[in-house]
Amino acid sequence: MKLHYAVMAPNPDRVRFFLQEKGIWEQTPKSELNIVKHEHRRPEYLAISPLGHVPALELDDGTVLTESRAICTYFEALNPEPNLMGVDGKERAVIEMWDRRVELTYMAQIGGWFRNSHPAMAELEKPQSAEWAEICQGRARKHAAFLDQRLAVSPYVAGVRFTIADITLHVAMGFGRVVKFRPWDEHPNLAAWRERMLARPGLAS
């Protein structure tokens, strides 16, 4: 197998942290792409990942998995411990619910805000829309408050233990740097949770 990834990019980072938490990042065969140099748009990569997205996991039988969560599902099946995605149907569903909430209602909004407002994204996001960036910013701020409330009553995003949902939120928080968004400065529960995440060796950059 081979994992195609990029550095400083949120979705590849979700998979990297997932594999670091499982202790298998170093041993996983990898190929690094430079998004800034548009290496993910080259024909040889589009032949692997037609949407030109990273990460992508190429399996030995020719199957290609894209979507970071699907790649994590595959690695979870190969390396069940430590469990990061749930041990039974109910826990798997609860973790998936929180993971997707973080991804779709928070991380994706940071992405929309960044891609529609930052000059460095002008080439990849055509057309850029300042109005859409504003809408995404408002949604990201609102959802940060929602997540802060969640972490007031739960030690981890999906409940009593560390899971993939914490990895996704950790990545999304870090991704906020591209729009200088630091919600932990105004939300104490997010701040306390973030300190615990930063102390985890598996989440070290």
Ligand X SMILES: N[C@@H](CCC(=O)N[C@@H](CS)C(=O)NCC(=O)O)C(=O)O
Candidate ranges 20-28, 53-61, 143-151, 156-164; the one touching ligand X (CB under 6 A): 53-61
And the tokens for 45? Answer: 């990569």
66 vs 163, which CB is nearer to ligand X? Answer: 66
By CB under 6 A, is residue 67 in contact with ligand X?
yes
Smallest distance, ligand X to C-beta of residue 155, A? 26
Indicate which single residue of 40, 101, 143, 170 sits in contact with ligand X (rule: CB under 6 A).
40
b vs e for 33-66, b when ≥16 Cβ sit within 10 Å of the residue's Cβ? Answer: bebeeebbeeeebeebbeebbbbbbbeeeeeebb
Question: Is 164 a binder of ligand X (CB under 6 A)?
Answer: no
> At residue 35, what is the residue type?
I
Q: Which residues on adjacent β-strands are paired with residue 32?
A: 5
Distance CA 67, CA 83 (A): 20
Among 20, 68, 109, 163, binds ligand X (CB under 6 A): 68
Query: Torsion angle, CA of 137/142/146/148, rounded to 10 degrees?
Result: 70
- To ligand X, the closest distance from the beta carbon of 194 in angstroms equals 20
Give the footprint of ligand X on this chain (CB under 6 A).
9-11, 35, 40, 52-55, 66-68, 124
